[in-house]
């Protein structure tokens, strides 16, 4: 059986990461970090509840993010709004396959993958899905690694909107999907950060 820090009465402060000793038995008294005075607990309070709330909100916003226009390129007074997927198709048809692949991965594949992985991890804790703790740890580290690329599409839009502003000759306008997509990115980051991976290893002690 794996011996955890909680088995030894040690708790990590969520604010400054200092290890402190707590009583092994549950008490009503709230202990505080000796360094920053934040409340201490063995596990992140309400971890699953917050993760589920952020995940469900991100899932709902994923619909307008993918079906509403995210960008409109106006050239000589004419232009049609594009969704994320229609923009990918246009890039592909314009023989910009590499750019199309980057946009597809960053704007569609990554957000969906993050939501699916977060749901899987939460279900492992709650309903004991048959995944090993090592596999779950790899998945958890993966969503944190790919999270840094989630804003790539919005960076591209912001650059285009800022630089391409030439009246009726050429103009780029962001659409309502950009706001929804930004919210999805932020919510998935919150969902991943709210999930306490130590809950996966606590299953061995239940």
C-alpha closest to that of 54 among 185, 149, 176, 196: 185
Instruction: Report the SS3 class of residue 72.
Output: strand
Nearest to 42 by CA among 22, 25, 60, 27: 22
Q: Which residues are CB-neighbours of 200 under 8 A, at least 6 positions away?
A: 121, 124, 125, 133, 136, 137, 140
Alpha-carbon span 156 to 158, nearest angstrom? 6
- Contact indicator for 55, 184 with CB cutoff of 8 Å: no
- What is the pLDDT, as a whole number, of residue 121? 92
The pair of three-digit structure tokens given for residue 164, joined into one six-digit string = 């391409």
Closest CA to 114 of 68, 69, 151: 151
- pTM, rounded to two decimals: 0.78
**pLDDT (0 to 100) of residue 73:** 62
State the 10-residue block means of pLDDT for the chain, 206 residues long: 72 82 64 84 86 95 87 62 78 77 81 91 88 85 78 62 52 74 88 87 66
**Number of residues that make up the chain:** 206
Yes or no: say if 62 and 83 are a contact pair by the CB < 8 Å rule.
no
pLDDT score, position 91: 72
Set out the domains of the chain in order of their start, with CATH numbers.
1-42 (no CATH), 43-205 (1.20.140)
Residue 174's nearest CA partner among 152, 187, 156, 148 is: 156
Beta strands in the chain (DSSP E): 10-12, 19-21, 71-75, 81-82, 170-174
Report the alpha-carbon distance of residue 143 to residue 44 in Å, rounded: 19
Report the pLDDT value the prediction gives residue 122, as an integer from 0 to 100: 93
Query: What pLDDT is attached to residue 154?
Result: 64
């Amino acid at each position: 059986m794996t011996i955890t820090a909680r088995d030894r009465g040690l708790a990590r402060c969520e604010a400054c990461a200092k290890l402190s000793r707590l009583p092994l038995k549950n008490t009503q008294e709230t202990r505080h970090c000796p360094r920053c005075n934040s409340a201490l607990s063995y596990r992140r309070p309400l971890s699953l509840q917050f993760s589920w709330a952020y995940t469900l909100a991100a899932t709902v916003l994923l619909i307008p993010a993918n079906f509403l226009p995210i960008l409109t390129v106006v050239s000589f007074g004419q232009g049609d709004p594009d969704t994320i997927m229609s923009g990918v198709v246009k890039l592909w048809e314009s023989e910009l396959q590499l750019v199309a692949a980057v946009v597809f991965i960053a704007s569609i594949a990554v957000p969906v993958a993050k939501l699916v992985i977060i749901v899987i991890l939460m279900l492992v804790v709650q309903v004991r899905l048959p995944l090993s703790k090592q596999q779950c740890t790899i998945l958890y580290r993966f969503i944190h690694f790919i999270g840094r690329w989630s804003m790539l599409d919005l960076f591209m839009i912001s650059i285009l909107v800022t630089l391409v502003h030439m009246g009726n000759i050429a103009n780029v306008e962001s659409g309502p999907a950009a706001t929804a997509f930004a919210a999805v990115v932020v919510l998935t980051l919150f969902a991943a950060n709210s999930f306490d991976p130590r809950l996966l290893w606590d299953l061995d002690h239940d």
